[in-house]
Amino acid sequence: MIHQYKNNGYNIVLDVNSGSVHVVDDLVYDIIALYEDHTIDEIVVELEEKYSERDMREAYGEISELKEAGQLFTEDVYEPYIDSFKDRPTVVKALCLHIAHDCNLACKYCFAEEGEYHGRRALMSYEVGKKALDFLIANSGSRRNLEVDFFGGEPTMNFEVVKQLVAYGRSQEEAHNKKFRFTLTTNGILLNDEIMEFANKEMSNVVLSIDGRKEINDLMRPTRNDHGSSYDIIMPKFKKLAEMRNQNNYYVRGTFTHNNLDFSKDVLHLADEGFEQISVEPVVAQPTDSYAIREEDIPVLCEQYDLLAKELVKRKKAGNGFNFFHFMIDLTGGPCVAKRLSGCGSGCEYLAVTPWGDFYPCHQFVGNEEFLMGNVDEGIVRTDIRDMFKNCNVYSKEKCKNCFAKFYCSGGCAANSYNFHGNINDAYDVGCKLQQKRIECAIMIKAALAENE
């Protein structure tokens, strides 16, 4: 399967099944579109008004050479392989600990309903968290690296327990030959020197929630009880923390909505404020929500991604670039095909844990009792849910089979699919279109930066 497109003056050809990427001239671009259904003689006739026969035969030869080398027009041979891969025993690699189902902001788009997850306010106790870590150690097989996300709600509202659980995890590493990677996601309101120092010592990654420009951020992320602008409270703290981490191993992470379709300005605002690791992502909301991304917004958003990609190339070439999470792509390394096609791991390798110790497939499913899988005392009780998620991959989704993005997207988000289609083996269509655009931009950026090599 070939995906060819033009972006920012580059003719790009992606050989989907091998992962090879080529930048080509107009001649090759036109021939590749005809290559599979036409002989060279037919192509010469078809394109004789645009190109010389000599050039066409030469270009055709180059294409054939790459086809022979397995870098163009390769076949999809992976479906039987993935079938055998998914029969392997499951190990749990990661937990998302819902340390607090409570929040000191009242963000309008929060899927957790202002931090409370469709239920009661609650804080996780040390005892529940300890049992969760014990479960992870016991169910992780021979895997050494274990991930634990401190999530919420707002985890800093229960920070003593965070510290206790990190200490407990560290105390278990040597005896079990494990290494914990802890991460923290915070809205920044309660950040202080003590929390920052702790995060810099113990957290492999820190996610700092901010939407961009002040008026955009404060519109969707208001404080409770009129405590003023959340932007004014968090921005100086986030800048300080990013510098303390040497601009590595963190993200400032925002959400854009129908209210700021010009979201590239928010990304560039964050970059201009000095942040070098940035993610600003489309809201996922029901169509009835006033701020939801709509089908008719897609062309505008695609233009925004193009604008952002061009600006990023310009800044990278000038030496003042930044990383944009959704444009980061590894074309030469990256994971194996088994990982690429089997998805994010939710429901089998990754579980969310509520403050009272219940297991759900991921943080997006928390509160939906249909997806309650077990708890820290009994382990996984609903193995049928685990198996459903384990069998969810690119080949279980009709929409993904012929999509050029499948090796970079892995079939999209199960929660989004469920929320829009009622089952996890579909795909959220608006999300797909934006993901495809982001991958096209990410590859273009690689091509543009390769010019200097």
Partner 1 sequence: MKHIKTISNRVLKDTMKNGGCGECCAVGNQSCKNN
Give residues in contact with partner 1 (CB under 8 A): 17-25, 27-28, 58-59, 62-63, 65-66, 69-71, 74, 77-78, 81, 85, 88, 91, 93, 143-145, 207, 251, 253, 279, 281, 325, 328-340, 343-344, 349, 407-410, 413, 439, 442-443, 446-447, 450
Least distance (Å) between residue 106 CB and partner 1: 22
Least distance (Å) between residue 393 CB and partner 1: 12
Least distance (Å) between residue 198 CB and partner 1: 21
Pick 153 or 343: Cβ nearer partner 1? 343
Pick 59 or 99: Cβ nearer partner 1? 59
Pick 101 or 340: Cβ nearer partner 1? 340
Q: How many CB atoms lie within 10 A of CB 54?
A: 9
Least distance (Å) between residue 87 CB and partner 1: 11
Assign residue 225 a region (left: φ > 0; alpha: ψ between -120 and 50; beta: otherwise): left
Pick 87 or 226: Cβ nearer partner 1? 87
Least distance (Å) between residue 233 CB and partner 1: 21
Pick 328 or 381: Cβ nearer partner 1? 328
Contact 76, 15 (CB under 8 A): no
Pick 107 or 443: Cβ nearer partner 1? 443
Cα angle: 121, vertex 122, 123; to 5 degrees: 145
Pick 9 or 333: Cβ nearer partner 1? 333
Least distance (Å) between residue 417 CB and partner 1: 14
Pick 161 or 254: Cβ nearer partner 1? 254
Backbone torsions φ then ψ of 428, nearest 5 degrees: -80, 110
Written in H, E and C, the secondary structure of the chain is CEEEEEECCEEEEEECCCCEEEEECHHHHHHHHHHCCCCHHHHHHHCCCCCCHHHHHHHHHHHHHHHHCCCCCCCCCCHHHHHHHCCCCCCCCEEEEEEEECCCECCCCCCCCCCCCCCCCEECCHHHHHHHHHHHHHCCCCCCEEEEEEEECCHHHHHHHHHHHHHHHHHHHHHHCCEEEEEEEECCCCCCHHHHHHHHHHEEEEEEECCCCHHHHHHHCCEHHHCCCHHHHHHHHHHHHHHHCCCCCEEEEEEECHHHCCCHHHHHHHHHCCCCEEEEEECCCCCCCCCCCCHHHHHHHHHHHHHHHHHHHHHHHHCCCCEEHHHCCCCCCCCCHHHHHHCCCECCCEEEECCCCEEECCHHHCCCHHHCCEECCCEECCHHHHHHHHCCCHHHCHHHHCCCCHHHHCCCCHHHHHHHHCCCCCCCHHHHHHHHHHHHHHHHHHHHHHCCC
Least distance (Å) between residue 244 CB and partner 1: 19
Least distance (Å) between residue 338 CB and partner 1: 4
Pick 82 or 385: Cβ nearer partner 1? 82
Pick 343 or 355: Cβ nearer partner 1? 343
Least distance (Å) between residue 105 CB and partner 1: 18
Least distance (Å) between residue 352 CB and partner 1: 12
Least distance (Å) between residue 195 CB and partner 1: 20
Task: Please name the residues in contact with 22: beta carbons below 8 A apart, sequence gap of 6 or more.
Answer: 12, 13, 15, 66, 71, 72
Pick 228 or 335: Cβ nearer partner 1? 335
